[in-house]
Chain A
Amino acid sequence: MDRALVEAARSGDEEAFASIARGSADRLFSVAHRILRDVGRAEDAVQQTLVTAWRELPRLREAERFDAWIHRILVHACYVEAKRASKWTANVVALSIAEPSTPDATVAVATRDALERGFRRLPPEQRAVFVLHHYVGWPLGDIAESLGVPLGTVKSRLHYATSTLRAALEADARGVTPASRERMA
């Protein structure tokens, strides 16, 4: 992120912040979508993130840490969206993969479904670490710093997320009935 833009936005320059927002929105949305698995909720999380970032920007001490800082806000917004989602849809939605996706020949449909089911069972804290590590590509130390949690906590969350997803894949490989899939969703 352009440090000069961040510093200008921190001083109240809305145009500078608009440039930052337009330059960051796709990336933030991609991360939010991977965590929340829902386009609408991801959009809400990003919108909330941008507003919060604008409001809190004067408190960001080091402009060069903007990227880590805004991802922390984004993850927090995803937690809020996830809680809201679980309140209303926990017993309703099963395997909702309604948003458009690009089929990837390297991931078989059954594998994709198994990962989707496993991922939906994860708490948002584990989802966030898994996405930041495997999708954004951050080292665990950077994730700890960005989220403001100890490195051990990040390792633990990644471990549990990985175990859950591996278990989902292994269950899929053994053959799972449609009835049991619905219970897992």
Chain B
Amino acid sequence: MNENEFDRTARAWLDEGPTEMSDRVIQAALDEVHATQQRLAMWPARRYPQMNNMLRAIAAAAVVVGVGVTAINVLPAQDAANGSLPTSSPTAAPTPSAAPTLASSPSTVTPGSLCTTDGCQVGKLAPGTYSFDAGTVTPRRLTFTVPAGWRIDKDGFVRKGQAGSPIEMAFVTWTVSHIYTDICQHDGALVSAGTTTGELADLLAAQKGRQASPVTDVLVGDFPAKRVALTIPIDFDVSSCDGGIVRFWPDPGPDESGGLCCTPAGSTDVVYVVDVPGNRFTVVARNNWDSIRGDVAELDGIVRSIQIEDAGRGSPSPSTP
């Protein structure tokens, strides 16, 4: 039997058998549905309302102190200490922090502020420098520069590559208060993420279900940070996980709503836990097992272009227009 004959035979065999579900079973399922509460949404449409009060306070404090913007680069700490690499990027020009108007069409977003507390603009990003304002998806105002070919979604994910495909890349920021000790069997696995960058980085490195690189010290511009690369093994069966998805952390607070989740096997999150006084937060640079090398370099460039306002220093970086 050749391959075509086998395929035909197999399909004919599979076509046999019942194709109608009994109404009794459907009704039983709907009865159970009626008695079942829906979970809260996973994605950060919920992140904004939950963070509003805290981040509004942070933003307000930042304005009172006098906001400066300090150029940052993600560099190994020792290199920066040796002065062998620049500490700022003169090409990354922060933009005014006026609240943006959400894009009326999902076509092209031009450089400027990307998000409000109601969500982010959606569309292709024209090459240039963009910002996340304090109180939106980051506790401090943050700018970054993207080349052509990237886009942003309403949740603040800056992406390249077909959504859900094995080449997709993403860049996103997050505030993490709790994490799951097991990304797959995550029901009941939520623990506090501690308060220091080291505690969070160590917890991430120990998360069951992902392979972790050693935790290293880096500088995100002038700010100390911990870096850890976390990979879901390519043969990992995500469908066997609770709810059929992996979860890494929920949005701030222990109620398990929102959060970062749902990546396929073979994806790698490079997580930078940044220590900005009073505002620990994470920057996640994600690539997939089939991501294109040039795109990975672009993602690295985006992370290196990040600048974070420094409320304590009071003066803007030289790159401020």
Which A residues lie at the B interface, using CB under 8 A?
Answer: 12, 14, 17-18, 21-22, 25-26, 28-30, 33-34, 39, 43, 46-47, 50-52, 54-59, 61-62, 65, 72-73, 75-76, 79, 99-104, 106-107, 111-112, 115, 125, 130-131, 134-135, 144-145, 147-153, 162, 165-166, 169-170
- Contact at B9–A26, with CB atoms within 8 Å? no
B1-31 residues at the A interface, CB under 8 angstroms: 1, 6-7, 9-22, 25-26, 28-30
Residues in B whose Cβ lies below 8 Å from that of A18: 30, 33
In the complex, how many angstroms separate the beta carbon of B237 from the nearest chain A beta carbon?
6
For chain B, the count of residues having a C-beta within 8 Å of the partner chain is 54
**Is B223 in contact with chain A by the CB < 8 A criterion?**
no
In the complex, how many angstroms separate the beta carbon of A152 from the nearest chain B beta carbon?
7
Interface SS of chain B: helix, strand, loop or mixed? loop
Given A50-B26, A72-B244, A115-B9; 4 other pairs, CB 8 A cutoff: A55-B37, A56-B38, A58-B38, A104-B12
Say whether, besides A34-B14, A54-B36, A169-B6, A25 and B21 are in contact (CB < 8 Å): yes
**A69–B190 CA distance with the chains assembled, in angstroms:** 25
Segment from B40-48, B68-76, B197-205 that makes contact with A: B40-48
- 8 nearest interchain CB pairs? A148-B238, A59-B42, A29-B21, A50-B29, A58-B41, A135-B14, A47-B29, A25-B21
Most chain B beta-carbon contacts within 10 A, residue among A61, A75, A103, A130: A61
**A84–B1 CA distance with the chains assembled, in angstroms:** 35
Which B residues lie at the A interface, using CB under 8 A?
Answer: 1, 6-7, 9-22, 25-26, 28-30, 32-34, 36-43, 155, 163-166, 234-240, 243-245, 261-262, 264-266, 289
Give the residue of A29, A52, A153 whose beta carbon is less than 8 angstroms from that of B18. A29
Residues in A whose Cβ lies below 8 Å from that of B16: 101-104, 107, 112
- Contact at A100–B18, with CB atoms within 8 Å? yes
- Contact at A150–B264, with CB atoms within 8 Å? yes
Residues in B whose Cβ lies below 8 Å from that of A51: 29, 32-33, 36
17 residue pairs A–B, Cβ–Cβ below 8 Å? A18-B33, A21-B26, A21-B33, A30-B19, A50-B33, A52-B244, A56-B39, A58-B38, A58-B40, A73-B244, A76-B244, A125-B237, A135-B11, A145-B165, A149-B238, A150-B166, A169-B6
**A65–B165 CA distance with the chains assembled, in angstroms:** 13
Most chain B beta-carbon contacts within 10 A, residue among A25, A79, A99: A25
Residues in A whose Cβ lies below 8 Å from that of B245: 59, 148
Give the residue of A29, A56, A162 whose beta carbon is less than 8 angstroms from that of B19. A29
- Contact at A131–B14, with CB atoms within 8 Å? yes
Say whether, besides A59-B42, A134-B10, A17 and B243 are in contact (CB < 8 Å): no
- Contact at A43–B25, with CB atoms within 8 Å? yes
